[in-house]
């Protein structure tokens, strides 16, 4: 894996492209992860409750409402990036059991080395495909499944089908929640299709844009 450091910026070749860790000039100890030039994650090492990206704040707001404040959750994260949300849950809901599935092993190594998360035996990061992780997960094992997986600008096709949504529903406990980051533009054909897919399996769906 090629790697170079320019001042505090770290650039490395990972499995899915060129990764950069860029310091945030406005927040000491904060970094943005870019893949092939596109921002993927923002992490504040001193304050994991600071969430820079709006879509991450929306996911966190949903997590805040799922259970009483501070109550631990069992969360499966499909897609890891720099582990922004797992760090947030770790800080706001101590004792939560979290499993992170990230397909890019070199990216996991880079983040673990340069932006280490607090040691916690309840937070496990595994290098694996998201669909394979679902298939190996037990029934009703999680309160929440969070999906934030992209290949370039699109969610991989094998994570958009009714069969995939059925697997998500299987690993959720009764009254469990599925939170997904979906990228689309007008006239929102893809987002509409994803809502229809989720509604074919789960009893309710809400789209926030």
How are the residues of the chain apportioned to helix, strand and coil, as percentages rounded to the nearest 5? 30, 30, 40
89, 141, 144: which is closest to 118 by C-alpha? 89
Both tokens assigned to 44: 């504040």
Q: Could you read off the pLDDT of 126-178 as tens digits, one per residue?
A: 999 999 999 999 999 999 999 998 765 567 778 889 999 999 999 999 999 99
Query: What is the residue extent of each domain of the chain?
Result: 53-199
Tell the burial category of 70 from Cβ atoms under 10 Å away from its Cβ (0-12, 13-18, 19+). Answer: exposed
pLDDT at residue 161, as a whole number = 93
Q: How confident is the model at residue 14 (pLDDT cuts 50, 70, 90)?
A: very high
Q: What is the pTM of this model?
A: 0.94
- Give me the helices (H) in 52-188, please: 54-66, 84-92, 105-114, 130-135, 162-171
Distance CA 209, CA 116 (A): 32
Q: Are 32 and 84 in contact (CB under 8 A)?
A: no
- Best CATH choice for the domain 53-199 from the list 3.40.50.150, 3.40.50.300, 3.40.50.2300, 3.40.50.720: 3.40.50.150
């Amino acid at each position: 894996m090629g790697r170079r450091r320019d001042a505090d910026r770290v650039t490395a070749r990972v499995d899915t492209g060129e990764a950069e860790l860029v310091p945030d000039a406005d927040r000491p100890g904060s970094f943005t992860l870019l893949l092939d030039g596109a921002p993927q994650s923002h992490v504040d090492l001193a304050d994991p409750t600071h969430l820079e990206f709006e879509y991450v704040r929306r996911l966190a707001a949903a997590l805040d409402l799922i259970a009483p404040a501070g109550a631990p959750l069992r969360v499966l994260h499909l897609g890891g990036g720099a582990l922004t949300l797992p760090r947030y849950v770790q800080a706001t809901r101590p004792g939560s059991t979290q499993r992170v599935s990230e397909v890019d092993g070199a990216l996991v190594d880079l983040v673990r080395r340069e932006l280490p998360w607090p040691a916690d035996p309840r937070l496990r990061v595994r290098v694996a495909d998201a669909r394979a992780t679902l298939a190996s997960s037990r029934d009703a094992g999680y309160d929440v499944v969070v999906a934030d997986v992209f290949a370039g600008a699109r969610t991989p096709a094998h994570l958009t089908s009714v069969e995939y949504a059925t697997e998500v529903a299987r690993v959720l406990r009764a009254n469990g929640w599925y939170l997904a980051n979906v990228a689309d533009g007008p006239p929102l054909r893809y987002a509409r299709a994803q809502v229809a897919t989720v509604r074919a399996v789960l009893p309710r769906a809400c789209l926030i844009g």
